[in-house]
Amino acid sequence: MTATTDGSTGAVPPRAASATETTTAAKEEPAALEAPTTPEDAARRAVQRATDFLLARQDEAGWWKGDLETNVTMDAEDLLLRQFLGILDEATCKAAALYIRGEQREDGTWATFFGGPGELSTTVEAYVALRLAGDAPDEPHMARASAWVREQGGIAASRVFTRIWLALFGWWKWDDLPELPPELIYFPKWFPLNIYDFGCWARQTIVPLTIVSAKQPVRPAPFPLDELHTDPRNPGPAQPTAPLASWDGAFQRLDKALHAYHKVAPRRLRKAAMRSAARWIIERQENDGCWGGIQPPAVYSIIALHLLGYDLKHPVLREGLASLDRYAVWREDGARMIEACQSPVWDTCLATIALADAGLAADHPQLLKAADWMLGEQVVRPGDWSVRRPGLAPGGWSFEFDNDNYPDIDDTAEVVLALRRVAHPDPDRVERAVQRAVRWNLGMQSRNGAWGAFDVDNTSPFPNRLPFCDFGEVIDPPSADVTAHVVEMLAVEGKAHDPRTRRGVDWLLAEQEKDGSWFGRWGVNYVYGTGSVVPALVQAGLPGSHPAIRRAVGWLESVQNDDGGWGEDLRSYRDAGQWSGRGESTASQTAWALMALLAAGEKDSGAVRRAVAWLAETQREDGSWDEPYFTGTGFPWDFSINYHLYRQVFPLTALGRYVHGEPFSGKGS
């Protein structure tokens, strides 16, 4: 796999700084480019170079955005969508195939993260995409892939979403897929299983799929896929039925009942349900044509609406298709990679924090430009979150360019922390935005005192039991990393002793693992969780001597690699005993561990000195770091992310704090 290192798409070329724009680091260290002789010298030199690199990659509008790399299912499904709609062109197909071929491993498989094992569904979808591009099944790379797929059980063993894509072309039977009725749209929010029991990302995908499931369309397949079945004459063996007394058994029987209902569903009711689902979908289309700022809901929404008679020139579909083109990243070799989503708000607030903590002047023009852009992105209208919090005033930020329906708690907390580091010329404007954000985040606290990413108390046990939901997380329970970021923000805002903040602190303390770490939901994994929680607890008033902090320090020191860095493989989500805190050193994970140790008062420790030395020694001449490993998480284990800007912002933040001390403590308590 080839990993780019420039950390940004749409970057602006470097420019010379004026006398008033030079960094604090440069002012303090006129000889910073000389060979470093101490850890402090090495850190200062690395900070200066990383600062220059990051400043040069800000967009003229004020934002930063690194590539968001996932896996080739995004690219394969993009081609399948275009084939289904009859709009697949040769240039797009060729460019996508070039990228997909480049990601294939020697054994013929495709993985979901760098260095990971071959994954069946990903390999099936990549293989089919290359067949669409004209690769013959007897070509060596294709033969290796199909042989491996058969060894793993063939298409029948792949996940439901993969088989849905194949069913669209007759490569799989709709009757052999779980049923998902559109009447689900009518279930009230108090009902044990309704659309708002699903996490927002699953909800946006499932609603359009209810229409697809009801319509069961089949477009003529351009070729057979017999080579991907263990037995082409019997491609879908019946799944054993679990005992009735078990949850799996109960939901299997429910699915059989739904299949029977599909054949006798009242026509008027079904049509009305599909119209209601379509209305729900259209109401949630963003101004730029996307749905939720992420690719999968957009793909399924386009298919669903097209099946209901919306032609491709209809404004809804026209803008939806145009939004998909914006997820494409074109490589220098002509390959085309599809991003699952884009992360400008997240990247911009993290870049702002990094630059400020690295010593850049708080009134630096580029920080002011970033602050202005973030202020303009605040969401000031209700979204789906208001179903559970109808009286709460809006005030959050989303992750993407356009996603007003689903601002998230994590971004909101980090944007506030970023804005507080900037000396904006209109402080009243910042204050109003921050107060709206604080009120919204407090209002989104779950009953247990913690915070999820998008919704309140999104913890129903039922969605994960559906046979349809065999891939990734479909609910949004509170997590340690999000809760930590909110607690840190509230402490900075002078609410360290607010009862709501203390409930968050108590929840975090109760969630600490026996070994001293914390689980990481949105980053890999225990290193991310621990790197998020320790600074938050210290900011909230816990001393470095607190037992929870000492246990965390002890765990981090115990899993530091011999080279001085930290790394954690995604396999820790499957096997924590073997992989927790274990993996090749990476720049972002080393930075997370370093930030935790610095917050705990360990600046002079040997672990910190070795970490600083590793970051300084592995920095590239242009000020960046190389990081092919995936350290971000969409769904733990199932969907992994390589945020190309993580390798830049987190090392700069950590080294900046090493050089300049911990960030400000805000308004106090």
Give the type of residue at 361: A
- Mean pLDDT within 251-257: 74
Give the type of residue at 515: D
Sign (positive or negative) of CA dihedral 581, 662, 358, 398: positive
State the virtual CA torsion across 526, 527, 528, 534 in degrees, nearest 10. Answer: 100
Q: What is the mean pLDDT of the chain?
A: 91
Query: Does 2 score more than 50 pLDDT?
Result: no
The pLDDT of residue 24 is 36
The pLDDT of residue 256 is 83
- Where in the sequence numbering do the catalytic residues fall? 410
Query: Which residues make beta-bridge pairs with 111?
Result: 118
The pLDDT of residue 465 is 78
Nearest Cα to Cα of residue 297 among 198, 424, 397, 393: 198
Give the Cα separation of 124 and 149 in Å (integer). 7
Query: Does 493 score more than 80 pLDDT?
Result: yes
The pLDDT of residue 460 is 92
Measured between alpha carbons, how far apart are the two ends of the chain, in Å?
48
Q: At what angle do helices 39-55 and 344-357 cross, to 10 degrees?
A: 140
CATH 3.10.105.10 fits 41-68+342-470+478-660, yes or no: no
Query: Does 667 score more than 50 pLDDT?
Result: yes
The pLDDT of residue 665 is 63
Per-domain residue ranges of the chain: 41-68+342-470+478-660, 71-233+241-338
Give the Cα separation of 338 and 510 in Å (integer). 40
The pLDDT of residue 247 is 67
Nearest Cα to Cα of residue 23 among 318, 355, 341: 355
The pLDDT of residue 268 is 95
- Mean pLDDT within 587-595: 98
Query: Does 10 score more than 50 pLDDT?
Result: no
Asked whether the beta carbons of 145 and 123 are under 8 A apart, the reply is: yes
Neighbours of 235 (CB within 10 A): 19
Q: Classify strands 68-69 and 639-643 as parallel, antiparallel or unpaired.
A: antiparallel
Nearest Cα to Cα of residue 116 among 577, 605, 574: 574
pLDDT one-digit tens code per residue, 435-474: 999 999 999 999 999 999 999 999 998 888 787 777 778 9
Give the Cα separation of 498 and 500 in Å (integer). 5
The pLDDT of residue 463 is 87
The pLDDT of residue 472 is 76
The pLDDT of residue 4 is 39
Q: Cite the beta strand spans of 541-660 per DSSP E.
A: 632-635, 639-643
| Residue 623 pLDDT level (bands cut at 50, 70, 90) | very high
Give the type of residue at 2: T
Give the Cα separation of 253 and 553 in Å (integer). 49
| Residue 106 pLDDT level (bands cut at 50, 70, 90) | very high
Fold equal for 41-68+342-470+478-660 and 71-233+241-338: yes
Asked whether the beta carbons of 515 and 555 are under 8 A apart, the reply is: yes
Query: Does 20 score more than 90 pLDDT?
Result: no
The pLDDT of residue 35 is 62
CATH number of 71-233+241-338, picked from 1.20.1430.10, 1.10.540.10, 1.20.1740.10, 1.50.10.20 = 1.50.10.20
The pLDDT of residue 402 is 92
| Residue 36 pLDDT level (bands cut at 50, 70, 90) | low
The pLDDT of residue 468 is 75
- Mean pLDDT within 327-338: 95
pLDDT higher at 371 or 462: 371
48 token code pair: 């200066």
The pLDDT of residue 169 is 97
Rg for the chain (alpha carbons), in Å? 25
- Of 24-28, 190-194, 550-554, the one with minimum mean pLDDT is 24-28
3-state secondary structure of 92: helix
Query: Does 371 score more than 50 pLDDT?
Result: yes
Neighbours of 302 (CB within 10 A): 25
88 token code pair: 């697949």
Query: Does 242 score more than 90 pLDDT?
Result: no
> Which residues, 6+ apart, have CB-to-CB distance to 98 below 8 Å?
333, 334, 335, 336
Nearest Cα to Cα of residue 10 among 50, 52, 63: 63
pLDDT one-digit tens code per residue, 527-581: 999 999 999 999 999 999 999 999 999 999 999 999 999 999 999 999 999 999 9
Nearest Cα to Cα of residue 337 among 498, 562, 539, 103: 103
Query: Which residues make beta-bridge pairs with 633?
Result: 640
pLDDT one-digit tens code per residue, 334-363: 999 999 999 999 999 999 999 999 999 999
